[in-house]
Amino acid sequence: MTANDTLFEAAKIHIPGGVNSPVRAFNGVGGTPVFIERARGSKIYDTEGRGYIDYIGSWGPMILGHSHPHVIEAVKVAAEDGLSFGTPTPFETTVADTICRIMPSMDKVRMTSSGTEATMSAIRLARGFTGRDKIVKFEGCYHGHSDSLLVKAGSGMLTLGVPTSAGVPADFAKHTLTLPYNDPEAVKACFTEYAGQIAAVIVEPIAGNMNMIIPDQAFIDTLRSECSSDGAVLIFDEVMSGFRVGLGGAQAHFGVTPDLTCLGKIIGAGLPVGAFGGRAEIMNCIAPLGPVYQAGTLSGNPLAMRAGQAMFELLEAPSFYSELEGKLDHLLGGLKAAADKHGVPFKTCRLGGMFGLFFTDGATDNYEAVMACNAAHFKQFFHGMLDRGIYLAPSSFEAGFISAAHTRSDLDHTIVAADEVFALIASA
């Protein structure tokens, strides 16, 4: 039995499934999860000291790399001042000012403790602002585990949703409409069918939870035009894409202004934090200014705020994102060449520091297409890379991330490892 096996069995005694978030259990790829003890730069290290080049980055926020000295110093100073006050602090104002300056769609912003809280609160706010109940979401997009959003499509494209998790009342799910991602005609049909009833459309403008999908401009433009015409609130869930695909997020990439935006732990440099914000007219409906209640003792936690501000100071360097893109061009070009060399169907996509890997030679523009990718090839690739010291997301439905700390040596080592694994896949 390995050290990881022992740790996993011990974890199962008092932690359901041995993990505190389901994807960590390796159910999507099989095998035993790796227990990580520390991290620095581009690498994470297990309890036996083995290093792995990390392409998860705590699911996105470690854009500077792990344990960046500028961030760590900010956290140390903050910790010496106290861990939590439950009062206003100047640091949350500084971070709010920074976010609203970088993302012009956000006149005002409210801090939360997680991305799930941010999306849940944004939905409640949209309903309170519009006086409507129904929301629209899309197949393959994940917006956290609040009841209204753990919903799949009904029997037809425009039928009301049904719960995807036990414990979600059907009465909640019936107010959620689920549409195919990247399909502007489905959006138009939905607004025709439910005119005047939709409170909000929530979408990952760059999908990161069915692998990575960059939708067509027409899809995003249609969301904006239909919401504007009908009086619905357009919510961009940029928990994954915000400050990852570019300084201004996906909304800057598409040139589309949402009414509300949700952000996640990247704004705290990886510490537990989230935020939602947008037009002042809508945000002024939040308590204490308005009737929509939202609260949190740890919202605007001083450690997360000071860590986030330290990170933003570095993200705004002129060449920061172009350097990330250059690294991904080299990495993904090398992976694709290796796959082609061995005749393995394989495609990639990337924007900023975020990327997707697909074992297919077909379409990769919606949930059904991603579901049709070769899951067996991904599992073999994942474990082959893990054996060679490369840590990828343990699911074929998750995006990957690169950081400023990844070196050319890291990237070349990854390409060499992939070449070996693609050869094994081809010979299987």
Q: Which among 41, 56, 67, 139 is positioned nearest to 355, based on CA atoms?
A: 56
Catalytic residue at 340?
no
Helix (H, G, I), strand (E, B) or coil at 243: coil
Q: Give me the amino acid identity at 76.
A: K
| Residue 41 per-residue DSSP state | B
For the chain, what is the total number of helices (H) and then of strands (E)?
14, 16
Angle (CA) 239 240 243, round 5°: 90
**Listing from the earlier edge strand, what are the strands of the sheet with 233-237?**
108-112, 274-278, 260-263, 233-237, 198-203, 134-138, 176-179
User: 46, 237, 259, 365: which one is catalytic?
Assistant: 237
Q: Give me the amino acid identity at 185.
A: E
Q: Which among 216, 158, 189, 224 is positioned nearest to 365, based on CA atoms?
A: 216
Q: Give me the amino acid identity at 168.
A: V
Contact call for residues 381 and 300 (beta carbons, < 8 A): no
Catalytic residue at 152?
no
User: 265, 327, 379, 410: which one is catalytic?
Assistant: 265
Catalytic residue at 142?
yes
User: Who's near 14: CB < 8 A, 6+ residues apart?
Assistant: none
User: 52, 55, 142, 367: which one is catalytic?
Assistant: 142
Q: How far apart are CA 139 and CA 129, in angstroms?
A: 25
Contact call for residues 175 and 133 (beta carbons, < 8 A): yes
Contact call for residues 341 and 327 (beta carbons, < 8 A): no
Q: What residues are labeled active site?
A: 142, 237, 265
